[in-house]
Amino acid sequence: MLVPAPRRTFAAMTKVYLKKKISRRVENGHPWIFGNEVGTVEGDSAGGSIVDVYTHDKKLLGRGYINLQSQIAVRLLTRDKAETIDDAFFYSRLKEAWTYRQKLGYTENCRLVFGEADYLPALIIDKFNDYFVLQTLALGMDRWKPAIVDALQRIFQPKGIYERNDVPVRELEGLPQQKGFLSAPFDTQIIIQENGLRLHVDLENGQKTGYFLDQHDNRRAIRHIVKDGDVLGAFCYTGSFETHAGFYGARSVLGLDISENAVAQARRNAELNGLGEVCRYEAVNAFDALKQWSKDGRQYDVVMLDPPAFTKSRETIQKAITGYKEINLRGMKLVKKGGFLVTSSCTNLVQPELFLETIHLAAKDARRRLRQVTFQAQASDHPIIDGWENTNYLKFLIVQVL
């Protein structure tokens, strides 16, 4: 397919010179440049405009978009001085992202663009078969939304594109929260296939972009340990792990979530797959249930914990660690000797080593010994760039509890 002729070209007339002392993060390839690293700006510094970034001694570092109202002043799109930022640039980057996913076998449902890891900072695109959900989380990327939508139309001829920009982080960029159709309207209640299961997805009102694709591969990892077992799933949301457990032969599955709407959809997912008798759900506070049930002496063959992010701020990391330790300690006490704990964390500020340390501290306090079965990150359609901690955010651990 021919690359479309660009409709717009924004030449980088503005030059941003960095201070002499900057983080090696920038020199080592990270696309973020913080406001306190900017020395001087020559030219138009209007938010969202394309700028060339130089070191203090006038060596070109790259080209990206600027927003001096944001803590992240510049996000680099390219380090190739010959590369122009235009509609064709975004078409090419989306084609590259799609080729990468295809080579890994992600052709039906996948994260098509994972922001910085696909060299398109602050852009998220999830593919649900023939439907796409898009997030532009920074002012500079939001300006290119028409070019991105056009590229999706040209590459995929999708049945629909939906915008899920109803996220608070946009306000830090001076952008409104909003959601809606970027194509002709369509039914946003869809059904996808994952690992042999059919699952309801609510693109308009579901969490994030409607469904957590990052656990796609991890959900397969429970297929042997749940067979013929009694399984408890806390923070189950719409029951994706729990439905998988039933599908993989669990004797009984109980999912807990505080959201009545999530529990209702979890029941629909179980019924959609003929598992209504195996998978049961309760709308309760999972934190309280774990605490009380561990005191009551309840026991399960497998306990699965998939809580929401506990912090998005470095100032509250210790509080998050305390929370992870508490729920995992309670979870371990609910596991029969020789059973399994399946536990996750999507808090990117809690890096893998710290997460593992927290789990082992919980085991010590619970007076249980652990044998690691597997420790994984997010699915490979959410690629990790070494040294870019925001791309390495999901921790998924299975341990045998002895």
C-alpha 168: how far from chain center? 16
Angle at Cα 247 formed by Cα 245 and Cα 249, nearest 5°?
75
Distance CA(84)–CA(77), nearest Å, equals 10
List CB contacts of 246: < 8 A, sequence separation 6 or more: 253, 270, 273, 275, 278, 279
| C-beta of residue 16 within 8 angstroms of C-beta of residue 50 | no
C-alpha 322: how far from chain center? 22
Query: In the annotation, is 346 catalytic?
Result: yes
Angle at Cα 46 formed by Cα 42 and Cα 48, nearest 5°?
115
| C-beta of residue 242 within 8 angstroms of C-beta of residue 233 | yes
List CB contacts of 38: < 8 A, sequence separation 6 or more: 16, 17, 18, 19, 68, 73, 74
In our burial notation (b when 16+ CB lie closer than 10 A, e otherwise), range 290-302 reads bbebbeeebbbbb
Nearest by Cα to 189 from 208, 202, 205, 206: 202
Q: Which of 110, 236, 279, 346 is catalytic?
A: 346
List CB contacts of 188: < 8 A, sequence separation 6 or more: 160, 162, 202, 203, 204, 205, 210
Nearest by Cα to 148 from 83, 94, 67: 94
* Residue length of the chain: 402
Give the three-class secondary structure for 334: coil
Distance CA(63)–CA(74), nearest Å, equals 9
Cα torsion for 279, 282, 286, 291, to the nearest 10°? -90
Q: Catalytic residue numbers?
A: 346
